[in-house]
Structure 1
Amino acid sequence: MILYEYPFNERIRTYLRLEHLFRRLVELLPRDHPVDHHFALVTLFEIMDVAARADLKSDVLKDLERHKAQLAGYRENPSIDQDVLEDVIGQLEACFTALHEQPGKAGQPLTENDWLMSLRSRVSIPGGTCGFDLPAYYAWQHKDAETRRQAIGRWASTMAPLAESIQHLLKMLRDSGAPQKVMALAGQFQQNLPQGRSYNLLRLRIDPALDLIPEISGNRLMISVRLMRQGEDDKLHASSEDAAFELALCA
């Protein structure tokens, strides 16, 4: 099954973008080739760009505090495993403390590294990191893989509190949604959302054998899914066939 996720607000959209970038960084870092480490650094710079939003750290801290308060209300509930509950609350508290103790925005210490910032200013230029443009970076790429890996890991560690916090928040958000089987009639599906409840994320799973691509739109009142198929002209065309998929709404 292919999983598609659709965020209902800018805050969750930012969390998903950062999660995507952190996953790419984790994938690239263990590799040995200088090209892989080049794109690991490019990914690190992209994380810095996304994390530069002024209210991001504040949003993450508020979400951690809100979830911690909600879970604390389940203490002494006989139907809840208290050991598991305390473990989750402890993880949230650890994330809150680590992120709160970081000065300034996430990744701010990296902005004080002149070598990294000179590289950052060149990566957006096509071919801007050639050896004749950045000889110091060219020399660094010729160091052994472990030296490069340790350096990138050290720089990326400044983002670790943010990465762990977002990982926990998105896991709790995803766990809040109960999947259900639905049917798109003639390639179209619409569902009204209950008033008084705010959803943050839609999750859709569809069988890749159907060769269908969902186009999702939504607001606080309604969600809509239109199933598309890529034609021989490489353009997307609306499907008119009935198709089933799995849908979950996460608050």
Structure 2
Amino acid sequence: MVIFEHPLNEKSRSYLRLEYIFGQIAKSRHLTASSDPEAFFKGILDLHELMERCEIRGDLTKDLEKHLESVNHWATIPGVDLNRIHLLQEQLSKFIYQLPRLSRITQTLKEDRFLSAVRQRFSIPGGLCSFDLPQLYFWLNLSEEEKAADCKRWLADFQPLIGALQLNLKLSRDSSHFNNEVAKNGFYQDNADNADMIRIKISPMLGFYPTVSGHKSRFAIRFLPHGDEQAQDIPFQIASC
């Protein structure tokens, strides 16, 4: 089964994009594959641009506070794992304290001369060649320790944000439940009151993928064929969170 996620508001759109960027950086930061440098620096530059355009710390703090209220309620239910509850309370409280106190979060990336040189060449097709960007070619031939130290320095200011975002999305996803539905002739629409995003689970064996339109609490899903399949009733599962 494949899970597709679609945000229903701009806040969740930013959350999912940041999660994708953080994942891209995490997978490529060790620079072991030939394609890793380009993926890593694209992730770093995308992270800087997105964080310059949107300020999510306020929304993220409010969402974590809501999760903390729910976790505090769970603690009153008999038979719950109190060790797990206390761990969540500590994690949520830590991020709620840290997020509003993060200042100039993109400053390190903005002021780094090496990253500025990479940024100028990145939009040029093939602009990361050694003759276009000898600084990058030199950096890639530094020791593993030196490169790891630079990567750690570039990402240090983002660590609380990364942890807070991952915890928020995990709790949101874990709180939702998938329900079985059928898209008649490939089309389905519904309400998702108080939801930030919908999650769609479908078998790739059916040969269809979902496209979603809508915002806030109203959405519509149309399943399109990957190949030559004809429109038909599509069984799938959906969750709102």
Match in the other structure for 2:236: 245
- TM-score, scaled relative to structure 1: 0.85
Question: In structure 2, which of residues 190, 201, 205 is the aligned counterpart of residue 205 of structure 1?
Answer: 201
* Unmatched tracts of structure 1, length 5 or more: none
Question: Are residues 1:49 and 2:56 paired?
Answer: no
> 1:135 and 1:240 mapped to 2: Cα distance?
53
Alignment map for 1:142-157 (pairs within 5 Å): 142-157=141-156
Match in the other structure for 1:139: 138
Match in the other structure for 2:62: 62
Question: Are residues 1:223 and 2:219 paired?
Answer: yes
> 2:79 and 2:214 mapped to 1: Cα distance?
35
Alignment map for 1:1-251 (pairs within 5 Å): 1-33=1-33, 35-78=35-78, 80-104=80-104, 106-193=105-192, 197-231=193-227, 239-250=230-241
SS of the equivalent of 1:52 reads helix
SS of the equivalent of 1:241 reads coil
Shift of residue 146, structure 1, vs aligned partner? 4.6
Deviations 1:101-130 (A, max 9, x none): 3222x3322222222222222212223333
Shift of residue 98, structure 1, vs aligned partner? 3.4
AA at the equivalent of 2:205? A
- TM-score, scaled relative to structure 2: 0.89
Shift of residue 221, structure 1, vs aligned partner? 4.8
Alpha-carbon spacing, 1:24–1:204, altered in 2? closer, same or farther (3 Å): same
> 2:198 and 2:56 mapped to 1: Cα distance?
21
> 1:248 and 1:63 mapped to 2: Cα distance?
19
SS of the equivalent of 2:53 reads coil
Deviations 1:122-162 (A, max 9, x none): 21222333333332222112224453234223322322111
Deviations 1:39-85 (A, max 9, x none): 21221111111122343222222222232234334443435433322
> 1:139 and 1:218 mapped to 2: Cα distance?
48
Alpha-carbon spacing, 1:129–1:8, altered in 2? closer, same or farther (3 Å): same
Alpha-carbon spacing, 1:37–1:158, altered in 2? closer, same or farther (3 Å): farther
> 2:92 and 2:15 mapped to 1: Cα distance?
16
Identity over the aligned pairs, expressed in percent? 29
> 1:170 and 1:221 mapped to 2: Cα distance?
19
Shift of residue 190, structure 1, vs aligned partner? 2.3
Report which stretch shifted further, 54-63 or 175-184.
54-63
Do 2:21 and 2:46's aligned partners in 1 also have CA atoms closer than 8 Å?
Answer: yes
Report which stretch shifted further, 42-51 or 201-210.
42-51
Shift of residue 183, structure 1, vs aligned partner? 1.1
Alpha-carbon spacing, 1:210–1:85, altered in 2? closer, same or farther (3 Å): same
